[in-house]
Chain A
Amino acid sequence: MEITPLGDSALIVRVRDRFEDAPQETLSEVLRTFRRLQNADIPGVIELAPSYTTVAIFFDPLQVAKAGAKPNQAFDWLAERVRAAVAVIGDRGRPRTLPVRVIQIPVCYDSEFAFDLDHVAEHAHVSSREVVDLHSAAEYRVSCVGFVPGFPFLSGLPKKLATPRRATPRKEIPAGSVAIGGAQTGIYPMRSPGGWNVIGRTPLRLFDPENDPPALLRVGDRVQFHSITREEFEVLMQ
């Protein structure tokens, strides 16, 4: 584990250097670290954000000093508490990690929504039908949420379907678009520009600022896609 400053008001706890080598183990370790840091409730910490190999800690240096750190040692003071929190054994009776949720996402792979389905099929040397079957049969995990609010980066894409991002990003990708970017798949929560290959669309709302939590998915969730018809899509949209 490595703790490095991210400017003067944040730091990064890096549990591993690489993600792709062992995505599941890395994610579990990140989630365990995240959970322990949450439980530790370190003074001055504003919020935590896990992603891939790291947990970021955002803090208020003034509050850290109020809690007892010497003004010129805020970082060392925090780093010491972070190490102690992560090393804790037994988590004082609390669960070691959040229970893993399994979220089902209906996707309409209809050609009207799937701008790049043919391209992905060509790239993988399979039929469009097979792309849909492969994509909806796999189980994914959310390894990061970001880019735009609520955008889940999912690991677990069948290797065959990995497709490089488009050379020229689209100016506008509709909300709900399910797409492939490199070795990952993801869902555009809102209309936005983007370079991923769009292969379908979900009627679910991935981000709603009126909800708390505002995002449908969080880091660590297991995700499964299932194919729905155009008619089912319309019904679910209502």
Chain B
Amino acid sequence: MNAIAIRAGFLTSIQDLGRTGFRQFGVSLGGALDSFALRVANLLAGGDESAAGLEISFGGLQLRFADERIVAWCGGGFDVRIGSTSLPAGHRALARAGDELKFNHAQSGCRCWLAISGGIDVPFVLGSRATDLRANFGGFNGRALRDGDELPLGELRPSPAFATFGRGKQTAATERISPWSAPKPWSQTASSAPMLRFVRGADWNRFNASTLQRFTSESFAVSSDSDRMGVRLAGPELQRTDDVDLVSEAVAPGTIQVPPGGQPILLLGDCQTIGGYPKIAHVVTVDLGIAAQLRPEDTVRFQEISLPDAHRLLFEREQELERFRIGLSLQNK
């Protein structure tokens, strides 16, 4: 069965956890810019954590279901309605045949991830269902959704997640939304005062102490020419102390590179695989979700942590997710 994108919104694309194994051929990781948010949404929808969902930027999506599905979303501060009922982030909801799910504009942040039970069943290309919007392959014919597109949904296996909603098809609209939700820091990821933690980059020492001090103490404004490749920032000018010609080498989502103009670029999931600008720092994995919510006119600050701390945060989050998974499976019984 399909779901129809009556309105596709500003920029909605099919994404999963990304495409690995082909970086040596220049293929970006891509996938959901906040893959953790998609994993949580997928768990809520009762599906496989790595299932393909929708990444919705700046809202505007209106989706109609042809059969009964469980849905959930995580991300920015969007106003989402199922029919006329509000569906907050991190809750599980039952969408019935004919129901419409609508994503209005975001009060804060700019992206969210929608999971649908059964997943979006587009073909795997190079091992992933993610849309590569720059190279135009994967996802829905290699492009963002357009009005009227019909999304193929995966076969619905009997899922214990349906137990949340009892048997009655006649339940009131509000009863089709779970009273409980995922932890807020996972489901509502936009921050009013975003602070990104980072570890030092290989070229950290090419900047002098006062420049580094400004990098960590002052705020940077998000500029309007930001996209899935990266967030361009405007703030104190970061000038290197040397002019050594750097050889291009790998970059990754989270890398903060500094072009000659001195205004840094924070790379996101669709970034190129290599870069030749100095890498001053790397935003840690657990904060990439906050980075994915940065929108023009936001200001952001940076805070240094150690590499062992970055790893510790990642392990702790994974342990919490494991507890959440167990809690959900009890909930499903």
Contacts and interface: CB of A to CB of B under 8 A. Distances in A.
Chain A, interface size category, equals 35 or more
Interface string B307-328: 1111110110010000000000
B255 interface: yes
A94 B129 CA distance: 35
B136 to A, nearest CB: 7
A72 B314 CA distance: 11
Interface in B270-293: 272-274, 279, 282-285
A6 B202 contact: yes
Interface stretch (B20-28, B53-61, B92-100, B179-187): B20-28
A73 interface: yes
Given A190-B136, A213-B25, A5 B199 contact: yes
A209 interface: yes
- Main SS class of interface, A: mixed
A62 B135 contact: no
Interface residues of B, number: 45
Contacts of A190: 135-136
A123 B107 CA distance: 54
Contact of A65 (B126, B132, B310, B315): B315
Contacts of B199: 5, 7-8
A153 B272 CA distance: 14
Contacts of B137: 209
B20 A46 contact: yes
User: Which of A7, A10, A53 gathers the greatest number of chain B CB atoms within 10 Å?
Assistant: A7
Given A5-B199, A71-B315, A209-B135, A52 B248 contact: yes
Interface of B: 20-28, 125-126, 132, 134-138, 199, 201-202, 247-252, 254-255, 272-274, 279, 282-285, 307-312, 314-315, 318
Contacts of A54: 247, 249-250
B247 A148 contact: no
A181 to B, nearest CB: 12
What 5 A-B pairs are tightest by C-beta distance, nearest first? Answer: A7-B282, A56-B250, A72-B308, A215-B25, A146-B274
Contacts of B249: 12, 14, 51-54, 56
B267 to A, nearest CB: 10
A209 B201 CA distance: 32
B24 to A, nearest CB: 4
Contacts of B138: 209
B117 to A, nearest CB: 26
Interface string A59-94: 001100100000111110000000000000000000
Contacts of B135: 148-149, 190, 207, 209
A9 interface: yes
B23 A50 contact: no
Given A47-B20, A65-B315, 13 more contacts: A47-B24, A49-B273, A50-B24, A62-B318, A71-B312, A71-B315, A146-B272, A150-B25, A190-B136, A207-B135, A209-B126, A214-B27, A215-B26
Nearest to B305: A8
A34 to B, nearest CB: 8
User: Which of B132, B135, B282, B284 gathers the greatest number of chain A CB atoms within 10 Å?
Assistant: B135
A4 B250 CA distance: 12
Interface string A4-37: 1111111010100111000000000000000000
B282 A49 contact: no
B284 A7 contact: yes
A11 to B, nearest CB: 9
B210 to A, nearest CB: 24
B58 to A, nearest CB: 24
A8 B169 CA distance: 48
A223 interface: no
Contact of B311 (A74, A151, A212, A214): A74
B25 A9 contact: no
A31 to B, nearest CB: 11
A214 B202 contact: no
A12 B252 CA distance: 11
A48 interface: yes
A180 B20 CA distance: 30
Given A53-B247, A144-B274, A148-B135, A73 B23 contact: no
Nearest to A216: B25
Nearest to B23: A49
Contact of A52 (B247, B255, B307): B247
A62 B23 contact: no
Contacts of A215: 25-26
A8 B250 contact: no
Nearest to B253: A7
B307 A18 contact: no
A148 B30 CA distance: 13
Contacts of A5: 199, 202, 282, 307
B285 to A, nearest CB: 5
A10 B275 CA distance: 15
A196 B20 CA distance: 29
A49 B250 contact: yes
B142 to A, nearest CB: 8
A231 interface: no
A145 B250 contact: no
B248 A144 contact: yes
